[in-house]
Structure 1
Amino acid sequence: MSDWSRNGQPVDTVAIDDRAFQYGDGLFETVAIRDGQPRLWPRHLERLARGCGCLGIDLPDIAALSRWIQEALWRSAEDPSYCIAKIVVSSGAAQRGYGRERRLAAETYVGIYPGARQASHHYRDGVDTVVCDTRLALHSVTAGLKTLNRLEQVLAGSERIVRGAFEGLTLDADGRLICGTMSNVFIVSGNRVMTPALQRCGVAGVMRAHAIESLQRDGITVDVCDVAVADLWAADEVFLANSQFGVLPVRRCDERVWHAHPVTARVMSILASHGIEECAL
């Protein structure tokens, strides 16, 4: 069982009238803790701030939030050199009903989980994926954010488990490639690296942002654009990005198989030089 705190105080329950529980009215961040520190912390905070602004929730005090993470790590039995901190920001407790008449005092929960290291052959040979039947709804006002409403990912994630895949790739209602259930996707076509635009739906991951910036610093431009499913099948390489595992090459998607990943290997080398230790082969 994971260890949790609410506003810095240890807890093991959530109030029944908390709007996070009732309506998914809140946000979350899943932060890699490496050597006792939250990795890509400024990127997590930037996305959390955008989410709070969108939902009309007070952004937690950053100094307090950082302290609560360190205190949670100190109380936890997990290895602080390699574990996970999950932050949940709820709009708080209120009377029944969807709407909020006023801005509520946010409740901030921090939970510590064990880190899950990926097998070395996943980085070397790649992982198996599938295209999920579950489609993502278009034109969400919360597109790109990590809200607590994750039902599309729950359904798609259940599909990939049943089908025995490492990750499930999701399309939007118009058939464009968007992202994985727990990752962002990049495709390589010739010398071009692309990742789907996420203005309509999907989650803009912090590792996605870090990868785009790191590659651009190394002279590799990443095109953020609409990606058709036909582009996926025609791609020379495909790779996934996630805050916990960094980058992983894709070996298979449904019946399509990729045997070589030279560009992905270069991407991983660049990210390893930019602080993502998992990508060091």
Structure 2
Amino acid sequence: MLKLIVTRGCGGRGYRQPDVIQPTRLFSLHPYPDYPAHYQTDGIVADFCRQRLSSNATLAGIKHLNRLEQVLARAEWSDDSCQEGLMLDVQNYVVEGTMSNLFIVENGVLLTPALTDCGVAGIVREWSLAFAAAEGLPSVEAAITVDQVLAADEVFVTNSVIGIWPVRRLAGQDFPVGPVTQRICAAYRLAKQRELS
């Protein structure tokens, strides 16, 4: 797995950037995470985090290096019985996971949190929305409450490393790996296979 980090470069003390900016590019190679294969088929266990995401519309959607809130949220559990934590913003809307984007299915409609004030606009999130549009599957980006998530027909999370993980249990409540999730998972696996061939 290749990770690329781009910074604006060094500027000494303080926050003022130098007149001439020399960006820094960092490349690092890592072994691919050894997640159990059944996470993609049978789903994962998730819970809600206590740590909240602060609002900053200027940074919303960007994968930047200030991920301290996600670090604090991920420190809320250390065992393997839970694979992801869902994070709320200061207005009590569910925004994303500590390492993933969130989708729910409600009466056949695919919903994902609108990232207007915080959150990361992930690549697989973008792919999932594009797939839904191409397949005529209704999709909406909206403010989503905890109650909406818990009342959803299906729940899944996405990111560029894990791909798509259905959520089979959230906050003690069971969810099926339903037909919409199965359809999107199958299409994503096929797209990845085509990419690699």
- TM-score where L is the length of structure 2: 0.92
Distance 1:218 1:112 in 2: 35
**For 1:1-281, what aligned pairs fall within 5 Å after superposition?**
84-161=1-78, 164-275=81-192
Distance 1:154 1:136 in 2: 11
| Kept after mapping to 1: 8 A contact 2:157/2:166 | yes
The alpha-carbon deviation at position 123 of structure 1 amounts to: 1.8
The alpha-carbon deviation at position 110 of structure 1 amounts to: 0.3
The alpha-carbon deviation at position 124 of structure 1 amounts to: 2.0
Give deviations 1:90-119, integer Å, cap 9, x for gaps: 211222112224351101010010112432
What letter corresponds to residue 52 of structure 2 in structure 1?
R
Q: Which runs of 4+ in 1 moved over 2 A?
A: 160-164, 259-262, 272-277
Give deviations 1:151-202, integer Å, cap 9, x for gaps: 0010011114358410010000010010001100000111111000001001
Give deviations 1:69-104, integer Å, cap 9, x for gaps: xxxxxxxxxxxxxxx111111211222112224351
The DSSP-based 3-state class of the residue aligned with 1:275 is: helix
The DSSP-based 3-state class of the residue aligned with 1:213 is: helix
Distance 1:193 1:214 in 2: 11
- TM-score where L is the length of structure 1: 0.65
Give deviations 1:196-225, integer Å, cap 9, x for gaps: 000100111011001111221122132111
Distance 2:36 2:22 in 1: 42
The DSSP-based 3-state class of the residue aligned with 1:232 is: helix
Gapped runs of 5+ residues in structure 1?
Answer: 1-83
Gapped runs of 5+ residues in structure 2?
Answer: none
Distance 1:132 1:170 in 2: 5
Aligned residues: 194
The alpha-carbon deviation at position 241 of structure 1 amounts to: 0.7
| Kept after mapping to 1: 8 A contact 2:155/2:167 | yes
The alpha-carbon deviation at position 120 of structure 1 amounts to: 2.3
Identity %: 35
Distance 1:271 1:113 in 2: 23
What letter corresponds to residue 11 of structure 2 in structure 1?
A
- After superposition, the CA RMSD in angstroms is 1.7
